[in-house]
Structure formats: C-alpha cells, structure tokens
Amino acid sequence: MTLNRLFFHFLPRFSRSGLLALVLALLFTISIATAQTNSLTVEETALNPDGLGYEINLSPDGKIVLSDFDGGEIRIYTADGSQAVIFSGVGLVSDARADTNGTIWYIEEGRQCLGEMNPINGEVKCWELPLAPDSSNIFYGTTLDGAGRVWVSDLANPILFRFDSATTKMCALDASSLTSDGGYYLMFDNYNEILWFADYTNYRLLSFNENDNQLSSYKVTNGNFKIEGIISDQEGGVWFTDSFNGSIGHLVRTGTEETLYQYPIPAGDSDLKMLTKENMRIWYSAGDVSSGTIGMLDPALMTVSETAFTKEIFPGPSFTCQDAVLIEEFTAARTELTPDWISKYYEQIVAPEGWSIYSMPAYFFPWGIQYSDGVLWIVDQGNQKLARHIFEQYVYIPLIKR
C-alpha cells in the first residue's frame, strides 16, 4: 500500500474529495498567513472626504492631534483610537499640536495667523503673524519649546516667529544673513534646549541655541540636503528626511563630537516626508499624489560610513519683538465621534537587511506619521484615511529553577 493510500485508508470519515478540499483550504490558509507575515497589518478609519489630512502630533497626555487643511478640521483621537473629537470651521489648518495645558496651537493659512484653541469649548483666538512686504509668506510648521512658547516656520521667507502666550509677545527671528528662503518643519529639542530647522534654498540643516545665542549650519560636503521632517534622537542629535539624496540622515552629537550618517532608501519612494521613532527604529513616509510607501529603518542592523559635512557657526540672529495683535475670535463646532476601524494589509517590498518597506493601496499618499505607546499612526492623504498599526506586545517570563 503506497503512502497516499495509507493516508486515505486511515481517514475513513472523510471522502477523498472532501479531504482534497480540506488540504486545499489548509494550503490557502497557509498562503494567506505567509502573505500577511510579509505585510503590515493596519486598521483604517475615514477622515473628511472633502479634506486633506497632513500632520499628526502627539499631545503630552498621549492623544493624537490631526490637521486637516482642506477640511478645516482639527481631530483629536484618544491614545487607543476608540474616541475622537472633531473641531470644524477652524480654517486652513497646518501642524496643530497641544501644549502641556491641552491648548491646541496651529497655523491658520486663510487668516495667516497663529490659532490658539481651547479644546473644552472650541473657542479660538487668532494671533496675527507679521507678513513680508510682498505678502509672500507660506507659514508651514510649528513647535513648542520648554517654556511653552510657540515657534512658526515660513517656507518662503528666512524668518522664524515665536509667540509667548504669557506675555502675548510676537517675536521674529531674522535669518536673512544665511538664506533668502525658509524651511518646512522645525523641532525644538527640549532635552538640550536647541531649535532645529532647515534651509530650503541653500540645502542646509540649521540649529539655534538660545542659551549661547548661536546659529549653526550643517551642509554635506560637495552636496545638498532637502529636509522636511526632523525629530530628536534624545541624545543631542537629530534624525531627518532628505529627499535630495533619497536618504534618512542622522546627525550624532556626543559632547563636542559630531558625526553625520546617511541611510539611502533602497526601495520604494524616495520623496520623503515625515519620520518618527519607535524605540531605536525609524519609521518614515514617502511618495507623491500618485503613489506612496512607508518604511522602517533599523540602524542597529546597518553599517554605513560617515558622511563628510561642513559646519559653520554664526552670531545669533536678531530678534524683533512686539505686542501680538489679536485679529479675530470665534468658536469652532465640536463633534464627538466613535471611529470605525477596518483591517487592511500593506504589502512588503523586498529590501535588504535593516529595512522594512511597504507599498500602499491605489492613490495612497502618506504624510503624517507618529509612533506612540505601541501604535504607529499614519495619515493617508490620497484616500483620506487615518491608519494605525498596533505592535505585538511581548511579555517576558523568566525561567525559575527549583
């Protein structure tokens, strides 16, 4: 009796056709499991279909703050995504974020002001951002420093603005001695009290230390940067996306030593947007309006050479301060929402060790990306979805010998 006949012989309760169907079902299940192993499992919930989601920022209490530019909305999700509050009618929103008191700060491009919103009642104060003589301003990113002051970048002009709600002073930091234009996003490293931002025209990474009033410039030797997202490595250095070189950059700062590393994106889109840190791994978003990818870099598994760069230190730029002008007050509509989450899979692209890169559904255009407490959050601007990937939590149980 052959092995196949033995196999069928000892399973009398199944017909041969039924057994074949069972085997095929098992193979199909295994193929799905294998595909899912090579995919990123996410859950998606719909945003405003008429909107355009951009940034997501973490509030000090762990909530997710999402900016919808075209939809005129600020959405605040609980840390687990089970509940949300939508504030609508707040204007053209950019880079909304919460301070330690829960107040939401954002750029309102329509009124060209800095919005200050009370999340309890939706009351908004609109503080005027001074305009350039030709009104060419493109106010873009925000950040909060350790004193609770709000910084604002201007993509079209070499000026940073700083608003102090305690004194209602609006200050302008003039960087025109270095560049003719500004940059995208900016980030304040509260651990080291350094403001980091980018120079869009001259392709440089810049830092401002208010304690010693110094402005530092970093530029690749015989090369350029095109920096959009910037995050702190919490050790004095920064990670950043660099679309010019299609790479993730890491400026390591140890005492007085500074070293630059670049990690070229091996696959997928290289038009890089934002990035976030999950433990020691870096997640990023990339793409354009027709396609997109998200990826993960594990630098512990990579070996890269140092990148030569030049550093220049300049005397501190001048500050011009004035009493801030409150140009408008209004109340945003407030709606509570219980999001519906639908499972999806992002297919993995073959990439070398140290990288995990995932392609997205049609018209996927990722922008905002944040990691918080075991969850990776992603804004799919092309399909107007908020996605989340929940990482598996492992519990370590030590072996006890008796």
Range list of H helices, 249-383: none
Q: How far apart are CA 170 and CA 364, in angstroms?
A: 38
Tell me the mean pLDDT in the region 333-355: 95
Angle, CA 56 vertex, CA 388 and CA 50 arms, to 5°: 85
Q: How confident is the model at residue 272 (pLDDT cuts 50, 70, 90)?
A: very high
Condensed to tens digits (0 to 9), the pLDDT of residues 290-330 reads: 779 999 999 999 999 999 999 999 887 778 999 999 999 99
DSSP of 147-163, one letter per residue? Answer: TS-EEEEETTSSEEEEE
- The 10 Å Cβ neighbour count of residue 201 is 13
Helix (H, G, I), strand (E, B) or coil at 240: strand
Condensed to tens digits (0 to 9), the pLDDT of residues 121-152 reads: 999 999 999 988 788 889 999 999 999 999 99
Condensed to tens digits (0 to 9), the pLDDT of residues 6-33 reads: 232 333 333 333 433 433 343 333 333 3
Per-residue pLDDT, 390: 95
Q: How far apart are CA 377 and CA 43, in angstroms?
A: 10
pLDDT at residue 37 is higher than 60: no
The boundaries of every CATH 2.130.10.10 domain in the chain are 40-390
Query: CATH says 40-390 is which class?
Result: mainly beta
Q: How far apart are CA 81 and CA 206, in angstroms?
A: 35
Q: Please answer whether residues 286 and 273 qualify as being in contact, where contact means their C-beta atoms are separated by less than 8 angstroms.
A: yes
Per-residue pLDDT, 234: 81
Q: How confident is the model at residue 398 (pLDDT cuts 50, 70, 90)?
A: very low
Q: Rounded to two decimals, what is the model's pTM?
A: 0.87
DSSP of 69-138, one letter per residue? Answer: TTTTEEEEE-TTSS-EEEEES--SEEEEEE-TT--EEEEETTTTEEEEE-TTT-EEEEEEPPPPTT----
Q: How far apart are CA 96 and CA 54, in angstroms?
A: 10
pLDDT at residue 248 is higher than 50: yes
pLDDT at residue 171 is higher than 60: yes
Q: Which residue has the tokens 């001259």?
A: 202
Closest CA to 141 of 368, 324, 391, 389: 368
Q: Which residue has the tokens 């294998």?
A: 34
Q: How far apart are CA 230 and CA 198, in angstroms?
A: 9
Helix (H, G, I), strand (E, B) or coil at 300: helix
Q: How far apart are CA 273 and CA 283, in angstroms?
A: 11
